[in-house]
Structure formats: C-alpha cells, structure tokens
Amino acid sequence: MILEVYLAAVIWNDQEREVLALQAEGGALVGMSLLYGNRVTITVLDGGDITIEPIQ
C-alpha cells in the first residue's frame, strides 16, 4: 500500500504547528476501529501510563 503524504497545519495547545499527515482510503484505521467505544488516556512522559476503558 502506498500512502499519500501531506503537510498539514493543526492547532495544538493554542499554537499552530505543521505536521505530516498520511492519507488512507476506506474507513477508520484498524487501531481506531478497535478503540471505538472506549476512552483512551495517555500520560505523555517517559514511562507514562496508557489506560483504555469502555465508555458506558
């Protein structure tokens, strides 16, 4: 599979940043479809925790 790569601008923490974005055809990526209906919390630090819990 060959993916198209684009330069995109996003607002992150109230500041605009340039990021690379990959275009994929079809529905949600497999990882996202598996996570649908769950809350994912990520502590973005070295050794940070990741929790996945169902949304009720």
Q: Do 10 and 16 contact (CB within 8 A), yes or no?
A: yes
| Secondary structure of residue 40 in the 3-state scheme | strand
Task: Centre a 10 Å sphere on the Cβ of residue 35 and count the other Cβ atoms it contains.
Answer: 13
Q: What is the pTM of this model?
A: 0.54
Distance, CA of 52 to CA of 56 (rounded, Å): 13
- pLDDT tens digit string along 2-51? 888 889 898 877 899 998 888 888 776 667 778 889 999 999 999 999 89
